[in-house]
Structure 1
């Protein structure tokens, strides 16, 4: 509705709401009336009243209006600090325990890594690996130390925020009891890579996404996330499984940790044993079941070791599927028929107990020698030459490593207790710098 102008032209007696031409006379009358009212209310003898002209409007105090409200703007955000450089050149004397280590124990692992170097590392490492092979596999500690100091330069890893320490955990190769057929005793399937698992290398589509992959399955013409760990674990009908099981295992709790470790051994009733190696993954991110238990008040941080989680799972069998589902990542396996008694890492070489480590390959190239320094849970220092020969879904970041303890129950006991803070140096050929690490 449109408002029409009023036909009334006479001013009202409010001097603050009308046209400017009516304000002086009206204001004068109002001020005179207020003066007379105050005089009438006085309790003292009134002074003689003299006729006066009305006080001009200019002498009447102006109305006091409220001050305008000024809303403060948002506080300025602190400037975003650029990520720190991933490497810092160091001297050999900066490596704690370097002179006390026995580097010859890691020498065979270094020679194995030289055989499996990727093409993008050959340029930097070709001359060094050729010289290492000439030195031979039986080199002494002194010879290996002298060789490395003469040809390599230590580079200390630095976190994005500029700090120098990061998380060092441990892993091992478990042994689980298995059967080739499903029985009442062996009910948990070990799945190979399903035919319907689709892997898309995003770098082939967009060069800026080199190294990024997505996994999923087709639902009609749409790529959707693959079945999660919990969904696969909940399948009870073997006909509904996405792939034929390689075998069936007895203990679903031990299989849960085989998934986390990524490789291990299966032992059958006839005494035979096969290696189980990582083949692929369902594309879901790894989430810590230990953190899940801590966040729900089921375990305290000091009890959230592998042993503590296993004890909780055995004490709460009705919640086992809930625990498994907390980590949506599922590992698909293959049987490893290569020779040797150990397990292979992501680089494709057999891991060496207490000399191989899993790393984030975006930060540390696979095959590179490195030096770790941290304290064990009992306080004893662990300072030694290692080889980056494996990866893991939970191993992400710059100063981050997973220390391989080897095979068996004792190795599992050591690995399960580790959650230490430590420092890492990568050893790189002189005359070149390590590749740029991602944040």
Structure 2
């Protein structure tokens, strides 16, 4: 009866189209989904195989400067240090000297590398990029600044089944009350067509609708106000709808060729087709809400709850790689065959980041970061570094 009841609830709310379990964006679309809500305590079913490897198997391991990754891993330890598997290593990581040779010895003496193998036996997967954008805005609306960023509304319900059904602890549903009924929250189209829905929840106003859309995809960013102040903002919540790639829509409609369906290509299309833009944006029903962040943060906050490090943090699928773990990535620079082999740290997630071997490379802040992130669509291999004594999980039955 328990599972029958659980299934009935899930079926009902799925039909409401308000399920917050993320869907996969197509690989041809560069734009990524905003960061979903994931707890570091969750242990979701695995969708990859962890195969023990030798350090010599890691392409470029001996050539990498580990110091930037070390700083990123220390950030991870602020979230991991109370977990039994990580307690000892994190205690040492907070005091270990950051000499590059000593760091290599530290990892080799305290971790085992496991190559990530997908459920179909593949050893390579897709590596894309994301960044922290800069927008121009104001704390007051005007003719120039007319596109609002919203805080999460009070009426947005987040229904967590974990308390009643532990096997569903990574499933959350979003909606709102309509009388005594729980119904889907408003879609992007409904919000755009009737902004009064969110009156009073405006945080800031910006001057570019396309940049605002991509800000929602990136999940965090900075707003330079008309006063000169720069405000940092981060992901607060989302309306519960599946992510849909507008890049794929443009390709299907014949508006863009596949090789032009990048972030830059979509922005250019929007500038050339302002009358068609609102209808295109509404094809992605998901809508993201924001919050202001402290100005002294060193980077945007990822799903792990710690600041991201440019060039060393990645978003991953937590069903494949544990949040917070070091990951050695062997790939190439965007639109290039030049090797890009680095120790990274899994500190974020994304609605389009799904699969056993899948990573979203955080490039940081600024025009060059935006350029690299927008064109990155590479193949890569991944090894997760886990503490000694770690037992690789069994592959989940699909």
TM-score calculated relative to the size of structure 2: 0.85
| Deviation of the 1:435 alpha carbon | 4.9
User: What aligned pairs does 1:3-402 form with structure 2 within 5 A after superposition?
Assistant: 86-117=49-80, 119=82, 122-136=83-97, 139-236=98-195, 239-241=196-198, 243-337=200-294, 339-376=296-333, 377-402=335-360
**Aligned to 1:386, what secondary structure does the other structure show?**
strand
| Deviation of the 1:86 alpha carbon | 2.0
Task: Check 1:248–1:437 CA distance in 2 against 1; reply closer, same or farther (3 A cut).
Answer: farther
Are the aligned partners of 2:47 and 2:320 in contact in 1 as well (CA < 8 Å)?
no
Which structure is larger by alpha-carbon Rg, 1 or 2? 1
**Aligned to 2:251, what secondary structure does the other structure show?**
helix
| Deviation of the 1:333 alpha carbon | 0.3
**Aligned to 1:394, what secondary structure does the other structure show?**
coil
Residue aligning to 1:22? none
**Aligned to 2:194, what secondary structure does the other structure show?**
coil
Measured against aligned partners, the alpha-carbon deviations of 1:350-392 in whole angstroms (never above 9, x if no partner) come to 1111001111222222211101111221211111000111111
| Deviation of the 1:298 alpha carbon | 1.3
| Deviation of the 1:133 alpha carbon | 2.0
| Deviation of the 1:404 alpha carbon | 0.3
Task: Check 1:118–1:255 CA distance in 2 against 1; reply closer, same or farther (3 A cut).
Answer: farther
Q: Distance in 2 between matches of 1:85 and 1:370?
A: 14
Q: Distance in 1 between matches of 2:279 and 2:127?
A: 28
Q: Distance in 1 between matches of 2:273 and 2:230?
A: 30
1:431 aligns with 2:389: yes
Q: Provide structure 2 residue ranges, at least 5 long, that are not aligned to the other structure.
A: 1-45
Q: Which moved more, 1:107-116 or 1:342-351?
A: 342-351
TM-score calculated relative to the size of structure 1: 0.77
| Deviation of the 1:394 alpha carbon | 1.3
Which structure exhibits the higher relative contact order, with contacts defined as CA atoms closer than 8 Å and separated by 6 or more residues? Answer: 2
* Structure 1 runs (4+) greater than 6 angstroms displaced: none
Are the aligned partners of 2:191 and 2:197 in contact in 1 as well (CA < 8 Å)?
no
Are the aligned partners of 2:206 and 2:212 in contact in 1 as well (CA < 8 Å)?
yes
Measured against aligned partners, the alpha-carbon deviations of 1:331-361 in whole angstroms (never above 9, x if no partner) come to 1100002523422212121111100111122
Measured against aligned partners, the alpha-carbon deviations of 1:380-434 in whole angstroms (never above 9, x if no partner) come to 1111000111111211222111100000111000100011111111100011124
Alignment RMSD, CA only? Answer: 1.7
Measured against aligned partners, the alpha-carbon deviations of 1:244-276 in whole angstroms (never above 9, x if no partner) come to 200111101100110000000011111111101
Are the aligned partners of 2:163 and 2:169 in contact in 1 as well (CA < 8 Å)?
yes
| Deviation of the 1:202 alpha carbon | 1.6
Task: Check 1:437–1:279 CA distance in 2 against 1; reply closer, same or farther (3 A cut).
Answer: farther
| Deviation of the 1:240 alpha carbon | 3.2
**Aligned to 1:215, what secondary structure does the other structure show?**
strand
**Aligned to 2:118, what secondary structure does the other structure show?**
coil
Q: Distance in 2 between matches of 1:278 and 1:405?
A: 18
Task: Check 1:437–1:407 CA distance in 2 against 1; reply closer, same or farther (3 A cut).
Answer: farther
Task: Check 1:85–1:343 CA distance in 2 against 1; reply closer, same or farther (3 A cut).
Answer: closer
Q: Distance in 2 between matches of 1:230 and 1:435?
A: 42
Q: Provide structure 1 residue ranges, at least 5 long, that are not aligned to the other structure.
A: 1-82
**Aligned to 1:318, what secondary structure does the other structure show?**
coil
The number of residue pairs the alignment matches comes to 351
Q: Distance in 2 between matches of 1:117 and 1:142?
A: 24
Q: Distance in 2 between matches of 1:147 and 1:357?
A: 22
Residue aligning to 1:416? 374
